[in-house]
Structure formats: C-alpha cells, structure tokens
Amino acid sequence: MLRLLSILAVLCLCIPAYATESSAVPKLDIGKGGECVKEPQWMRKNHMHLLTHQRDEVVHKGIRDEKISLKNCIECHASTKDDSVIARDDSFCVACHRYEAVKLDCFECHSGERKSAWLKRNSK
C-alpha cells in the first residue's frame, strides 16, 4: 500500500513537469515581428489558409494583396541576423514547423530571404 502511494505521489509530481514542457512554445527568431494581419495566436492557427487563398488569387487572377503575401510575411519575420525565415533551426518558419512535425515545402520554390537582402546581393 505504501509503495502504491509513493508511486502515485511520484506520478503527481511528474504531471506539472510534463504539463509545463508540453505547453512550452518553441523558441524562435521572429525578426522584426509586429502584428499587421491578426494577433499571433490566430496567425499560428490560420496562416496556412491565408497563404493558400492568397496564392490562388495571385497566380490565377493577378490580385496581389501585399499585406497577406508570403513575401510580406518574410519582409518582417526574416531574421535580422541573416535575413531569412528558413536558414537556421530557430528561424521563424523552421522552428515551429519542426516542433509540430509539419513539412514545410513552400521554400522548395519560394525564396525564404528578405527581398531587400536579395536585391542587395544580386545587384552587385
């Protein structure tokens, strides 16, 4: 009986530790950051829908809403150190996608680099 109680006590102690660990948000480099579309929690949940909608509007109809374009996201969220959202393990896109184990295939075609940085490098 005593043994059972001690096991239970140990388990109870473990729960808070586990709970804090699971609710921990991955540490990521948010670049300049800021809130231009919606608040962060909404964006965490829904950014993919905005991007998918936007991509069809742009590619098929040429409606380029700069505010919700991938390029505009990158402009603010690319790291201030390396101008990229994908270069490092704690880069803005990579950190969360790795944590959630969701494959990130946007950047097989799209540039993950801030446009101004790209222009600077390619105008030389």
Contact footprint for another protein (CB under 8 A): 55, 59-62, 64, 71, 74, 108-111, 113-115, 118, 122
- Between residues 28 and 114, which has the closer beta carbon with respect to another protein? 114
Instruction: Show the DSSP H helices in the chain as ranges.
Output: 2-23, 40-56, 70-77, 92-100, 115-122
Distance in Å, CB of 98 to another protein, minimum: 20
Distance in Å, CB of 61 to another protein, minimum: 6
- Between residues 74 and 94, which has the closer beta carbon with respect to another protein? 74
Phi/psi of residue 46, each to 5°?
A: -120, 0
Distance in Å, CB of 7 to another protein, minimum: 53
Question: Which position has the token pair 């494959």?
Answer: 103
- Between residues 80 and 116, which has the closer beta carbon with respect to another protein? 116
How far is the C-alpha of 6 from the C-alpha of 100, rounded, in Å? 35
How far is the C-alpha of 124 from the C-alpha of 119, rounded, in Å? 9
